[in-house]
Amino acid sequence: MDELLTSIAAKKSLLDELRPISRKALASLEHYYDIELTYTSNAIEGNTLSPVETTLVIEKGITAGGKPLKDHLEALDHYDAIRYVRELARQETPITESDMRNLHRLVMQRSAPDIAGGYADLPRYVLTETGRHGFPSPAEIPALMGDFAGWLSTAPNTPNTSFTAHRRLVEIHPFDDGNGRSARLLMNLVLIRGGYPPIAVRPEDRLEYTRSLQAGQGTDSFNALLYRRLDATLTEYLSALQHSQPESGSR
C-alpha cells in the first residue's frame, strides 16, 4: 500500500503541474469520463446498456432496441447527477445533507421519480455470503445522516475521506434504491474537490467491490481497490492531458 500511495502522490503532483488546464481540453476530458462513470456505475447495478449505447443515449438521445426503457432513463439520470457533482465541486461551501439528497434525486429523477431524493420508508436488506444483512431502520436514518453530514462538512478533501464517505453512506443505506450510485457520486465529489480525477468502479471490479463492502469486512480491501483505481485513473488523466498540451497553448 505504501508504494501505491507514493505513486498516487507523485502522479497528483504531476497533474497539479499541468494546471491550469485549457477549457477545451478539460471539457473534452470531463465529458469522456462522465459517460464512462455513468456506464460503469449503472452497470455495477445491473444496467444492460453497453458503453456505446450509453454514449448514444446521452449524446444523441438514441435508444437501443430490445433494452429496457428504465436502463435508458438511468443513463440520462446518472449523467445529470455527475454534471451536478462537477458543479458542486467548484463551490467552496461544505457538502450538506441536502446536497446528498439532491444527488439521489437526480440519480432517480426519471427512472424512479416516486422515491427520488426521499429517505427510505421500508426496511432494507441485502444477501451476503454470510447471510442476510439489515440496514438501519427508516426511523434511524435522519439522525444518522445528520451525524454523517456533520462529519463530512469538516473532513479534508482527501482520497481517504472520499472512500470513507462512500462506505458510510452505503452502511446507512438511506434510500430505498440508488444507494450505490449515490455513494459513488459522493466519493467522486470529494475526490474532485481535492484536485483528483473521479474514479470508476468497473463491471470487472464488481465481485471484489461488493465483497469488500459486505458487513463484517474491514476497510483495507475496500480502500485497496479504490486506491488502485485512483492510481490507474491518474495515469489515464496524465496521458490524456499531456497529449492535449501541444494544441492547448492558450489557457
How far apart CA 27 and CA 21 sit, in angstroms, is 10
Where are the chain's structural domains?
Answer: 2-245
Does residue 20 have a cis peptide bond before it, meaning omega lies within 30 degrees of 0?
yes
pTM equals 0.94
Q: What is the pLDDT of residue 194?
A: 97
Q: Which residues are catalytic?
A: 173
For residue range 189-244, list pLDDT tens digits in order: 999 999 999 999 999 999 999 999 885 566 889 999 999 999 999 999 999 888 76
Q: What is the mean pLDDT of residues 22-37?
A: 93
46: left (phi over 0), alpha (psi -120 to 50) or beta: left
Cell 427512472 locates to 111
Which of 127, 106, 221, 226 lies closest to 175 in space, CA to CA?
Answer: 106
Which of 16, 66, 5, 47 lies closest to 177 in space, CA to CA?
Answer: 47
How far apart CA 171 and CA 165 sit, in angstroms, is 10
How far apart CA 106 and CA 111 sit, in angstroms, is 10
Which of 238, 188, 181 lies closest to 44 in space, CA to CA?
Answer: 181
Q: What is the pLDDT of residue 198?
A: 98
Q: What is the pLDDT of residue 151?
A: 98
Q: Which residues contact 48 (CB under 8 A, 6 or more apart)?
A: 67, 68, 71
How far apart CA 178 and CA 45 sit, in angstroms, is 9
Q: How many angstroms separate the Cα of 40 from the Cα of each of 149, 154, 203, 205, 247?
A: 26, 30, 6, 10, 30
The answer to whether residue 179 scores a pLDDT higher than 70 is yes
How far apart CA 5 and CA 13 sit, in angstroms, is 12
Q: Check if the beta carbon of residue 199 is closer than 8 Å to that of residue 105.
A: no
The answer to whether residue 248 scores a pLDDT higher than 50 is no
The pLDDT confidence band at residue 48, using thresholds 50, 70 and 90, is: very high
Q: What is the pLDDT of residue 251?
A: 40
For residue range 94-132, list pLDDT tens digits in order: 999 999 999 999 999 999 999 999 999 999 988 877 778
How far apart CA 90 and CA 143 sit, in angstroms, is 28
Q: Which residues contact 101 (CB under 8 A, 6 or more apart)?
A: 117, 118, 119
What residues form DSSP beta bridges with 125? Answer: 134
- Cell readout for 36 is 464512462
For residue range 120-176, list pLDDT tens digits in order: 999 998 887 777 889 999 999 999 999 999 999 999 999 999 999 999 999 999 999
Architecture per CATH, domain 2-245, reads as Orthogonal Bundle (1.10)
Length reported for the chain: 251
Q: Check if the beta carbon of residue 136 is closer than 8 Å to that of residue 123.
A: no
The pLDDT confidence band at residue 22, using thresholds 50, 70 and 90, is: confident
